């Protein structure tokens, strides 16, 4: 419905809202044309390119070239890169270069996608941003300086910190809680300086603009109609086209625009109004759009004295330059985020924290594999390739997975809020990328030995790579087809190992091997079926104790007979009467904490006629969660290397198969191994499903810790947020759910219970001493998105989330949490090869020197990105001006290094201190370091050239430390530092 129909009602509304409001005259409105192009959501990337995305880029370039006053902003790079590489003509490419040079076309954010901010890991936010920025800088020599995060479902405090590190001057967000946005509008608080990190603030603060209640769409000003799928109409006539601007309609359009602008002006502190012009899938006919808007803006400016408004096309940079020029003292927002997000009273968008758990898990595993593959390839190439490897092919495999992992960070991808066919597309892209990188890693680690996939039924060679920059002791699990095995290392020495029957598959066995691996190094283990047990290299055979199935009781005897399972750090007590966990004794503090776990389900409505419904986005429970089981069976598998507790939860008393299961493992670390992290955790693999329809499954862990119902959950794996339980008139259950990208904990004055997750989940503390994790959702509803576009979660699959539990005094868990989270995120990568000669152990190639960092630091990336631009900005621009003949070869000499300090200021007495490292020493295993350049987060700026804007605040802001030169660097708490490292050839 265009403005011609809703103007009378709108005029009344504006008059009412403006009564008594501050009036600033004239108002300068910045019309920022844009098109919101979701990388996925309802249609696949190919479908979107065919229906509108390609024509959007083509017609925008044409329309801007025909009018010097016109402007446009582009956000996501994926569609632009596809258009640039596969559609654009040389004439169109030259148009784009000219528009960028003149500042009439602007890339905002510049990442591969507009990433989600709730369930993405900050590693992957950086990756997708680096992917987009690397392309833009290499191709055009430009570096985005403003963000455009207008559609993610809530705003994280980590994202603005990363944008500041990338060199941004201002940040735009859109969706925050409806009642909070209304309050901020009334107090003119939609703009502020955000210090997203409590340790980095105020050095990495950033000016932030919150979209007002109109959001990023401009309703009633679309003269091209609605994009048509699967193909554009042959006659060029689209549905829902607004009436063109003519002498008859122009006054009506002008009144609508001016009325909205004047209302918006009351919500901000300067007389400048940002008016986003566009919406989803718009500007596929930019010629028609600009032709009409040209007339409208000319009319407004002709009647400025009467209307009190001037209007101009603008980029986001134009707007922020005008705001920055005002002498305003801005309020400061500290490291609190804007999560969760509710769009209205009964719509808390907290369901997507868990939606499509299999996709979430695949995305995180793909990211971890990419991290491992990058460093393994870099180590292979430096100081010199150990054997022939097609470097161009290898880099192509890495680039494919970079693209896929970047793509899935989109706010309608990893969130699980996309159509089923789009989810399938993401899975296909990730799976193909994973296959390529695993092939690359097999080629390097096995040194030419033929790779093998699947369970081993005969002798196998296992190459195990540690992607972390410290020595890792871990239990590696392999599926084998024999009950007796021998395991030896490269020197033929026996390796501690254990064999046991698998959890659910008959006649299959799990072989557990204790592997100790230096940083960024791999080990080789020879695995053979053994004729008999008892040899020096023979894997120890585990024994199993089975317990009768116990019924769920509301009352009755509990805790009379306890079954202890001990590993030296913890003793887990299991209740014989219930088959549930009863308590955990923690050795460090000599404290017993009551801990029990059970599965519950929330029953939800699927019919909009009967009330609020849960969907891919929204969690709308009809009642409190109820137990989802009637009986529990239990087995304890005892072994010398690990003990496993298997608990099976049955939906009915006589059910044949369990709906839920918990497999808890405690490792027994032999003497001579550094097993600090391995000992101090309880590893849990969960089995969940299939669920009944309209059920949402949670694992609730209940303790006797007086936690005051305060939960701590992580923000994108970067920092923790305090989450006190808040009581609302409506929707208290769902509005107290938060994203857990990697970790959460509850605590009292003495102890802390930490949960670490392999993938993102929703998490909440619905009762004192409780923490519950949402694991799986199966939903059906009659919403339009479900019925017309198949945005559904009718998922009958079984999911297998992984959680690790840590318990101990607060200083101990503060020391262990970050490193344990990394140990879970970046577990050793195992590739199997055929053992050609079963008579002797495999002789592995000579190992390179390990890469080892101090315990406070994490090697966030070590890679060869392949960019071919000069590090000198002036030289790079001159190269672009000269033009290139053909596609330049990838530069394999530049190594990208990024280091991250894991701890907050004051979090740990020792580990929170600044750390000084000599990069020449740390990286000597890769060769002689010739030069080290410190760069911005995504590598496009040399830090000495980066001059971010300063914004006036009441406390005056903070000083920014000067950049350090040379290979010796000091890294302060929570800093993320990025470098280009240049090695000398041997």
End-to-end CA separation in angstroms for the chain: 69
Phi, psi angles (nearest 5°) of residue 555: -150, 180
Does 151 qualify as catalytic in the annotation? yes
Q: Provide DSSP, 270-293.
A: SSEEEEEE--BT--TTHHHHHHHH
DSSP 298: H
Report whether 153 contacts 352 (CB < 8 A).
yes
3-state SS track over 147-168: CCEEEEECECCHHHHHHHHCCC
CA 2 to chain centre: 38
Which CB contacts under 8 angstroms, 24+ apart, belong to 852-855? Answer: 852/469, 852/470, 852/471, 852/518, 852/519, 852/922, 853/469, 853/470, 853/519, 853/899, 853/917, 853/922, 854/915, 854/917, 855/470, 855/819, 855/911
Phi/psi of residue 523, each to 5°?
Answer: -120, 155
Q: Taking a C-beta distance cutoff of 8 angstroms, is the pair 452, 428 a contact?
A: no
Question: What is the total residue count of the chain?
Answer: 986
Phi, psi of 334 (to 5 degrees): -90, -150
The number of CA neighbours under 13 Å toward the Cβ of 593 is 30
Q: Is-contact 238 227, C-beta < 8 A?
A: yes
**Catalytic residue of the set 151, 318, 489, 575:** 151
Cα torsion at 613, 756, 662, 711 (round to 10°)? -50
Bridge partners for 473 per DSSP: 516
Q: Which long-range contacts (CB under 8 A, 24 or more apart) does 297-300 make?
A: 297/31, 299/250, 299/251, 299/254, 300/254, 300/257, 300/258
Cα 163 to Cα 157: distance, rounded to the nearest angstrom? 11
Q: Is the peptide bond before 2 cis (omega within 30 degrees of 0)?
A: no
How open is the CA angle 531-532-534, to the nearest 5 degrees?
140
Strand 929-935 vs strand 105-107: parallel, antiparallel, or unpaired? unpaired
Instruction: With beta carbons less than 8 A apart as the criterion, state whether 282 and 238 touch.
Output: no
- State how far the Cα of 791 lies from the Cα of 43, in Å rounded to an integer: 10
User: Which residues are designated catalytic?
Assistant: 151
């Amino acid at each position: 419905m265009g403005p011609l129909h809703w103007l009378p009602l709108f005029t009344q509304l504006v008059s009412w809202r403006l009564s008594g409001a501050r009036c600033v005259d004239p108002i300068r409105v910045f019309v920022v044309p844009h098109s919101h192009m979701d990388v996925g959501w309802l249609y696949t990337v190919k479908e979107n390119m065919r229906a509108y995305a390609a024509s959007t880029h083509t017609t925008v370039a044409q329309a801007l070239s025909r009018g010097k006053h016109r402007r446009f902003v582009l956000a996501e790079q994926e569609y632009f890169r596809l258009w640039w590489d596969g559609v654009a003509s040389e004439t169109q490419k030259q148009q784009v270069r000219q528009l960028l040079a003149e500042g009439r076309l602007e890339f905002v954010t510049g990442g591969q996608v507009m990433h989600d901010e709730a369930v993405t890991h900050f590693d992957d936010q950086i990756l997708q941003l680096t992917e987009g920025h690397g392309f833009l800088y290499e191709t055009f020599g430009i570096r985005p300086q403003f963000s455009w995060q207008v559609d993610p479902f809530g705003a994280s405090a980590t994202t603005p910190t990363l944008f500041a590190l990338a060199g941004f001057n201002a940040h735009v967000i859109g969706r925050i809680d409806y009642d909070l946005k209304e309050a901020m509008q009334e107090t003119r608080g939609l703009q502020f300086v955000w210090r997203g990190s409590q340790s980095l603030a105020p050095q990495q603060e950033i000016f932030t603009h919150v979209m007002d209640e109109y959001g990023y769409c401009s309703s009633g000003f679309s003269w091209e109609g609605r994009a048509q799928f699967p193909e554009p109409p042959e006659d060029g006539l689209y549905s829902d086209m607004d009436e063109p601007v003519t002498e008859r309609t122009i006054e009506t359009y002008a009144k609508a625009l001016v009325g909205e602008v004047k209302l918006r002006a009351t919500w901000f502190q300067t007389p400048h109004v940002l008016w986003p012009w566009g919406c989803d899938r718009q500007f596929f006919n930019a010629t028609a759009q600009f032709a009409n808007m040209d007339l409208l803006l000319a009319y407004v400016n002709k009647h400025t004295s009467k209307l009190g408004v001037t209007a101009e096309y603008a980029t986001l940079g134009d707007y922020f330059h005008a705001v920055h020029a005002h002498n305003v003292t801005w309020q400061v927002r500290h490291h609190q985020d804007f999560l969760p997000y509710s769009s209205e009273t009964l719509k808390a968008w907290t369901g997507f924290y868990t939606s499509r758990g299999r996709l979430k898990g695949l995305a995180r595993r793909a990211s971890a594999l990419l991290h491992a593959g990058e460093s393994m390839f870099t180590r292979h190439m430096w100081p010199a390739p150990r054997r022939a490897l097609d470097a161009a092919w290898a880099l192509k495999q890495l680039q494919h997975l970079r693209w896929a992992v970047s793509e899935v960070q989109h706010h309608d991808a990893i969130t699980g809020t996309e159509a089923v066919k789009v989810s399938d597309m993401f899975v296909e892209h990730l799976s193909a990328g994973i296959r390529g990188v695993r092939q690359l890693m097999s080629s390097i680690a096995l040194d030419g030995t033929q790779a093998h996939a699947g369970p081993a039924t005969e002798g196998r060679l296992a190459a195990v790579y540690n992607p972390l920059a410290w020595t890792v002791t871990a239990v590696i699990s392999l599926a084998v087809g024999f009950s007796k095995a021998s395991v030896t290392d490269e020197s033929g020495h026996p390796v501690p190992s254990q064999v046991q029957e698998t959890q659910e598959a008959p006649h299959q066995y799990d072989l557990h091997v204790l592997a100790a691996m230096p940083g960024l190094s791999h080990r080789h283990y020879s695995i053979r079926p053994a004729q008999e047990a008892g040899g020096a290299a023979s894997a120890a055979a585990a024994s199993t104790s089975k317990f009768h199935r116990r019924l769920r009781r509301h009352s009755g005897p509990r805790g009379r007979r306890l079954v202890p399972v001990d590993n030296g750090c913890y003793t887990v007590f299991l209740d014989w009467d219930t088959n549930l966990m009863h308590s955990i004794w923690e050795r460090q503090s000599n404290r017993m904490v009551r801990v029990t776990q059970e599965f519950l389900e929330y029953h939800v409505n699927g019919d909009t006629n009967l009330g609020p419904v849960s969907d891919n986005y929204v969690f709308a429970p009809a009642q409190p969660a109820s137990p989802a089981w009637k009986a529990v069976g239990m087995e304890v598998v005892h072994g010398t290397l690990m003990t496993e507790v298997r608990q099976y939860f049955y939906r009915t008393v006589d059910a044949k198969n369990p709906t839920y299961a918990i497999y808890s493992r405690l490792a027994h670390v032999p003497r001579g191994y550094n097993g600090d992290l391995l000992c101090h955790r309880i590893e849990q693999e969960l089995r969940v499903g299939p669920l009944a329809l309209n059920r949402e499954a949670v694992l609730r862990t209940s303790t006797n810790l007086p936690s005051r119902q305060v939960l701590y959950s992580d923000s994108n794996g970067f920092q923790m947020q305090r989450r006190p339980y808040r009581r609302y008139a409506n929707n208290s259950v769902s509005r107290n759910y938060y994203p857990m990208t990697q970790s959460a904990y509850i605590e009292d004055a003495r102890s802390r219970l930490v949960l670490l997750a392999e993938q993102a989940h929703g998490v909440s503390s619905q009762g004192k001493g409780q923490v519950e994790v949402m694991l799986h959702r199966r939903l059906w509803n009659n919403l339009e998105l479900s019925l017309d576009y198949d945005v559904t979660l009718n998922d009958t699959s079984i999911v297998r989330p992984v959680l690790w539990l840590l318990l101990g005094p607060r200083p101990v868990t503060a020391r262990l949490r970050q490193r344990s989270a990394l140990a879970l995120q970046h577990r050793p990568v195992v590739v199997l090869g055929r053992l050609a000669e079963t008579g002797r152990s495999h002789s592995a190639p000579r190992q390179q020197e390990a890469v080892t960092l101090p315990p406070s630091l994490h090697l966030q990336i070590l890679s060869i990105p392949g960019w071919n631009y000069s590090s000198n900005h002036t030289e790079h621009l001159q190269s672009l001006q000269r033009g290139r003949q053909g596609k330049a070869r990838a530069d394999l000499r530049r190594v990208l290094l990024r280091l991250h300090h894991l701890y907050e200021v004051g979090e740990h007495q020792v580990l929170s201190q600044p750390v000084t490292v000599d990069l020449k020493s740390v990286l000597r295993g890769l060769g002689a370091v010739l030069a080290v350049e410190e760069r911005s987060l995504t590598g496009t700026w040399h830090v000495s050239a980066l001059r971010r804007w300063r914004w006036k605040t009441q406390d005056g802001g903070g000083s920014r430390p000067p950049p350090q030169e040379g290979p010796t660097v000091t890294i302060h708490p929570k800093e993320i530092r990025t470098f280009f490292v240049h090695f000398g050839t041997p």
